[in-house]
Chains A and B, each alone.
Chain A
Amino acid sequence: MWHKISLSRFRLMIQLTMLFLMVYGGSLVGYYAAEKISNALPVLSCAYDKQTGGYCVLIPLQHQLHHRIGEALVAAQTFSLNVLLPLFFTIVSFFAFYVVLGKAFCGWVCPLGTVQELMGKLGRRLNIQPRFIAPEQVGKVRPIKWLMLLVLVLLFPLLAGMGVTPHVTGDSFCQVCPSRILTTVMTGDWEQLAIATPDVVSTVFGVVANLLFGFILLVALAYRQPFCRGCPLLAWNSLFQRFSLMRLVKVEHSRCDKCSLCHQACPMDIPEIWREHGNKAFHEDCILCGRCAEFCPDDGVIHLQFAKWRWFSSARDYYKSRSRTENAKGELKRVSIPLKDVQNALKQAVDKPDA
């Protein structure tokens, strides 16, 4: 299969289909939450989008922390099953999806991930030079996603439920999520782009959200997957990464020291894919896009694996054909046809018009 179509192209087709389903799929799957693909998808498909095909897990997670656990704590109830059951259902349905596809949700399904990637492709076409985060800098960016998860998704909704922070903090992450603005604007609905002004906290959230949305959208022309690096869903997904059937496997290889192509290819700038092997190479930041496996020039070093089935493995021949149009960094190669060949072809066409 991979001789006929590259993994990247195959992934792009899936991403575009999923983008359609996540942003406009409500007309196919149904209108009400119970009819959606799931209410606990591990991707940023926003419930504020009237036509979405499924909801992001962060909505019920924040909602339950806010309205059930936080409020129950204040009412001094003991943690009854009634309070914890919905949270349990959310995590179980998320987990059911997650065990099968794991991090592939980030690299293959998430609408915001896809749009950032498309912006990156546009950037290459516009000749904007791709930028990378150096291995010694990545460590500074990595804690952001955990902070976002702990503070915006878990802490603030709980505090809002307890009445400590204002009501609007009950879905703090949604308030700043660029996917909320992006996916609704994509359906022609401008409402989420408007800044709420009833109180200072709402306005601050709105200011942050819109600045972030504008920034992420254009910075993606040069930096690959800028929002993914701080996405709380990446952190949440990575908690379950080791349980997933879908995984990235790298075996130890002697030539890696002098290579680093996989690291250059990685849209998340993960140096571990080059420097480590085994569990450490499948890093918490990995979005299972498979670019590292595509651009590894050696046979059978990096694999995309579902349970025991290695459905894509690095291979020299594949690498050679893949790098004809694009290098590991994502820069497009100009295919130059010598002028002499063009002249000859034209001459032949003029001499023998029927040929």
Chain B
Amino acid sequence: MRFKWFGLLALVWIAGADAGDCSLVGADWKNLPHFMARPDKGGLLAQVRGMQIVGAEYWSAHTSESLVLGQSTRLTEGNYHWLQASGDWHGCSTDLSTAYYNNMGKGDAPTEMLLLTKAALEIIPQPLPREHWRYRGGDAWSFLVRWQGQPLIDAGVLFVDSLGNAQALRSDDKGMVRVVFPDFMPDEMAHDAHEAAGHNQQARRGFALWAVAPDGSSLAGFDYHYAHNASYQHSLWYGVGLAVLGMLAAVGLFVRRKKAKKRRQSIEGEGA
């Protein structure tokens, strides 16, 4: 399913639903702000481009501290971190977030950290892909939209990605939005700075989810990345065929043995 450049239509729809000063009309992957986080000198280097920053903070499972953008930050806890920058985008108060994972051998789960109220309007992955997992093209994942700590029902959410795909989504009666990531085969990957080959040499592309506060007072975005479809360079049919071949080899082993035994018995019978 392709959603390329349907963004504008989606935005008009979202803007129509949410009255107020802030809006996402005209927003696309290129002009929306982005959060970048990568390992650096044993710590974390976080940067935000495309918006004026007032402050930034990061949360670990048990702590939260202010985050200095553009400088290496030494993380004291392992595993999952939530990074958030607050500022101004096109005259609108904006909270932009991303998640960051560092494996220090040990560390707690982010379940509670993700659900802590960290801004008035929030888009929270439920769950974040855990270790050995990731968002991937073709997969469906859920996100919780919250306003002042409460699930925001029937909220308009905009999905955009670095290839220009866009989807207009709405939260359900629990404030959950289900995102089906667009199909993604790496040969169509755009080469922008957001898309480095990841941990397992997985090609990945950036995506973001954006929402407008019900009173139009602010915007919130979650900026992250997803990998290519699971089926890319994988053949299920060869896999099934080979498993069946293995099964036939096993059956062949019984049958041969059974025949050999019968033959032995008949020879012994004749000899007697």
Residues from chain A with a CB closer than 8 A to the CB of B80 are: 32
Q: Is A89 an interface residue (CB 8 A)?
A: yes
On whether the beta carbons of A191 and B230 are closer than 8 Å, the reply is yes
State in angstroms the CA–CA spacing of A89 and B78 once bound together. 14
B231-256 CB contact bits vs A (8 Å, 1 = yes)? 10111101110111111111101100
On whether the beta carbons of B200 and A219 are closer than 8 Å, the reply is no
On whether the beta carbons of A34 and B79 are closer than 8 Å, the reply is yes
State in angstroms the CA–CA spacing of A86 and B103 once bound together. 10
State in angstroms the CA–CA spacing of A35 and B200 once bound together. 24
Q: Which of B31-39, B129-137, B168-176, B210-218 contacts A (4 or more CB under 8 A)?
A: B129-137
State in angstroms the CA–CA spacing of A237 and B93 once bound together. 57
Interface bracket on A: 35 or more
Partner of A193, one of B109, B133, B239, B257: B239
Residues from chain A with a CB closer than 8 A to the CB of B201 are: 167
State in angstroms the CA–CA spacing of A137 and B246 once bound together. 23
On whether the beta carbons of A197 and B233 are closer than 8 Å, the reply is yes
Q: How many A-B residue pairs have CB under 8 A?
A: 113
Please give me the residue from chain B that is nearest to A210 by CB atom. Answer: B242
State in angstroms the CA–CA spacing of A139 and B131 once bound together. 39
Q: Shortest distance in angstroms between B130's beta carbon and chain A's nearest beta carbon?
A: 5
Partner of B254, one of A85, A194, A221: A221
State in angstroms the CA–CA spacing of A210 and B236 once bound together. 11
Please give me the residue from chain B that is nearest to A89 by CB atom. Answer: B105
On whether the beta carbons of B243 and A89 are closer than 8 Å, the reply is no
Most chain A C-beta atoms within 10 Å of own C-beta, residue among B104, B244, B250, B257: B250
Q: Shortest distance in angstroms between B219's beta carbon and chain A's nearest beta carbon?
A: 29
Q: Shortest distance in angstroms between A324's beta carbon and chain B's nearest beta carbon?
A: 28
State in angstroms the CA–CA spacing of A190 and B254 once bound together. 28
Please give me the residue from chain A that is nearest to B243 by CB atom. Answer: A214
On whether the beta carbons of A31 and B130 are closer than 8 Å, the reply is yes
State in angstroms the CA–CA spacing of A32 and B109 once bound together. 6
A187-208 CB contact bits vs B (8 Å, 1 = yes)? 0001101111110000000110
On whether the beta carbons of B250 and A34 are closer than 8 Å, the reply is no
A119-168 residues at the B interface, CB under 8 angstroms: 128-129, 131, 167
Residues from chain A with a CB closer than 8 A to the CB of B254 are: 128-129, 131, 221-222
* Given A167-B201, A193-B240, A195-B234: A219 touches B109 (CB 8 Å cut-off): no
On whether the beta carbons of B132 and A48 are closer than 8 Å, the reply is yes
* Given A195-B238, A198-B233: A215 touches B127 (CB 8 Å cut-off): no
On whether the beta carbons of B108 and A34 are closer than 8 Å, the reply is yes
Partner of A194, one of B110, B235, B244, B248: B235
